[in-house]
Structure 1
Amino acid sequence: MATGQGWRLGARTRKWYLVGHLVSAAAWFGLDLALGILAVTAMVTDDPAVITTSLHALQFFAVWPMFAASVLTLATGTVLGLSSRYGLVRYWWVVAKLAVNVLMAVLILVALRPGIDAAGNPADLLPPVVVAPSLLLFSYLATVFKPWGRVRRTPAGKTLVRDTA
């Protein structure tokens, strides 16, 4: 249905997009946690077979399933944002979530994928093990608490500034 601010999804369709968004975000978080468990297991063991198995397991599921989950989260979140009063750039918390999602999707391809392929030392995987779940948790908390104010444009309409009102 069209409104003055754009279009709206029907209630049933919106719920299905919301389910898709929640499931893809949860899958992404779960895959990140599994990456952490495997990387930490490889770091703390002295058994070469466990290290090798952990690193091989990472190559099978870490990059492409995580990237797919990030793209699904981005796609469903974009539809939900565009079809709701929150928009994509109306509120700072939505802008922050969008930026985190895009940044992490890019990092999966340009940093994590080569890092896993070249990981001879499991400790090299420690930064993504800490950073990725932290950023995803930040996104979850931003969704719940909706911090900061609305984004407003300057009179020139060119830059975004924080609306403190």
Structure 2
Amino acid sequence: MTPQRTRAGDRPRRRSLTWQMKPGTRKAWLIAHVVVSVGWFGGAWAMLMMGVVALTNVGRELRPAAYEMMHIADTVIMIPGSLGALITGLVLGLYTKWRVLHHWWVVTKLLLTIGAMVFAYVYVAQNVKSALAATEHDLDADIGRLAESVIAGSVVMMVVLIVTTLLSVVKPWNRTGWGRRAQQRRREAVSAR
């Protein structure tokens, strides 16, 4: 990139090395992020409700079907929803004023999203598969604390998704070290003009 001159005699103005989205593009990505995040949240709520049905006496005959539906929801809602939220969030973080590593709330959301994805696979999905395998051929199979573990995992997912939503709305905390240095560079560039 070559420096630009704004007026005769002015110092050259350097273009920013970071690309920012146009307002319409930003809105489209933000809408996509909200839609997939709401879908992910809805999937977590549905899994929680199916887990509760499978645990109660009312749902005794529905136990295998509830666990099967949880497994399907995990595959077709939770996995695509979490990946969509991660990808759209990263795009928004990279190409808007927030940046990925410049604000603590964005860093925290990123870590919570990745942590939720790992937790969902390692804990929730595996417990659902175990519960399904145990109840598939025997409605009255004693699965011990597995039913409560499935519900607890779904509750944890709901809490994490609520916290990430709150972070998006409230935007707490200060800038990270990278964010403070970038802000300082912008101030110096403006005062040098």
TM score, norm. by length of structure 1? 0.85
Task: Give the match for residue 184 of structure 2.
Answer: none
Relative to structure 1, the CA distance from residue 89 to residue 39 in structure 2 (aligned partners, 3 Å threshold; closer, same or farther) is same
1:3, distance to aligned residue in structure 2 (A): 5.7
Report SS of the residue matched to 1:148. coil
Structure 1 unmatched runs, 5+: 154-165
CA distance in 2, matches of 1:128, 1:147: 27
Pairing 1:134–2:159 present: yes
Pairing 1:12–2:10 present: no
Query: Could you list the per-position Cα deviations for residues 80-135 of structure 1 after superposition, in whole angstroms to 9, with x for gaps in the alignment?
Result: 01111111111110000000111111222222221111024422202212111101
| Paired residues, number | 152
> Which moved further from structure 2: 110-119 or 30-39?
110-119
Report SS of the residue matched to 1:57. helix
Q: Which amino acid aligns with 1:123?
A: E
CA distance in 2, matches of 1:3, 1:122: 58
CA distance in 1, matches of 2:75, 2:124: 7
CA distance in 1, matches of 2:120, 2:126: 9
- Please provide the CA RMSD for this pair: 1.8
CA distance in 1, matches of 2:98, 2:159: 24
Report SS of the residue matched to 1:7. coil
Give the counterpart of 2:124 among 85, 108, 112: 112
Q: Which amino acid aligns with 1:122?
A: A
The structure carrying a bigger strand percent of its residues is 1
Give the counterpart of 2:54 among 32, 42, 53: 42
Q: Which amino acid aligns with 2:150?
A: L
> Which moved further from structure 2: 74-83 or 61-70?
61-70
Who wins on radius of gyration, i.e. which is larger? 2
Answer yes or no: is the 8 Å Cα contact 1:63–1:108 preserved in 2.
no
Answer yes or no: is the 8 Å Cα contact 1:39–1:122 preserved in 2.
yes
TM score, norm. by length of structure 2? 0.73
1:45, distance to aligned residue in structure 2 (A): 2.2
Answer yes or no: is the 8 Å Cα contact 1:59–1:117 preserved in 2.
yes
CA distance in 1, matches of 2:163, 2:28: 24
Give the counterpart of 1:73 among 71, 85, 98: 85
Give the counterpart of 2:38 among 26, 31, 51: 26
CA distance in 1, matches of 2:70, 2:59: 17
